[in-house]
Amino acid sequence: MLWRDLLDTTLECRDKFTAYRDRVGKRQEKGKTVVVYASYEDPSKPGIVHNRIVRADTYLEANSPGGSNEQRLSRAIVIFLFTYWEDEIRPRLAAAKSIPINEIKPDIMGDLRILRHAILHAKSNIRPDEHRRLKVVGSRFPPSTLIHISYDDMHQLFVLIKQDCARLIFSWLGVKDGAISPGQLVDIHIQRVTNDL
């Protein structure tokens, strides 16, 4: 159940990340889009309230791959995933295994902790001394530069979380030579079995 919670949350974050879209409209002058408006309400209903109106070029820049909106969303997901792990999943796993919480240390979650700290406390910059502590994602995020999380980086973070979850499960179950190694996993699906024939 604990693993399902973490995997469900990871999958939901991934789905929200790939499906993030505002309801968008535009105003054109002389055949060119000059203003874009975004709303979380149905634009076909009368009296909608726009949450913002911006110039089209500004909107396109912010919503382009790697743009400021993608970066805010990516960083928020990193913060949320680590916080959910630290406050919910990790304590429950420790209690279920009857071990101290500090004995549950997947490498990717340690790296997410460092990324989270840099995002929240260092304006998204990883100091060189903190960068040296990254065990899994150091090559993706150079030190002393703004953390830029591309779509591929985000996808890879999800894969690495699933792989470390599998490593913990295999270790706790005593699986030495499974049909697949945790490092080969790219996705996990939990099959729901029904008694219907």
Please indicate, yes or no, whether residues 37 and 117 belong to a single structural domain of this protein. no
Tell me the three-class secondary structure of 17-40, residue by residue. Answer: HHHCCCEEEEEEECCEEEEEEEEC
Task: Render each residue's pLDDT in the chain as its tens digit; 197 residues.
Answer: 455 555 555 555 555 554 444 455 556 667 666 666 665 566 566 666 655 666 777 777 777 788 888 899 999 999 999 999 999 999 999 999 999 999 999 999 999 999 999 999 999 999 999 999 999 999 999 999 999 999 899 999 999 999 998 898 888 889 988 888 888 878 777 777 777 65
Is residue 189 in a domain? no
**Which pLDDT does position 55 carry in this prediction?**
73
- For residue 170, being part of any structural domain is answered with yes
pLDDT of residue 139: 94
At residue 84, the pLDDT reads 95
- Report how far residue 119's alpha carbon sits from residue 78's, in angstroms, rounded to the nearest whole number: 9
Looking at the fold, whether 85 and 171 belong to one and the same domain comes out as yes
111 shares a domain with 59: no
Residues 83 and 39 in one domain: no
Q: Kindly state whether residues 100 and 168 are assigned to the same domain.
A: yes
CB 18 within 8 A of CB 173: no
Between the two ends of the chain, the Cα-to-Cα distance in Å is 25
Give how many domains the chain has, as a whole number. 2
Asked whether residue 57 falls in the same domain as residue 73, the answer is no
Q: Judge if 32 and 86 occupy the same domain.
A: no
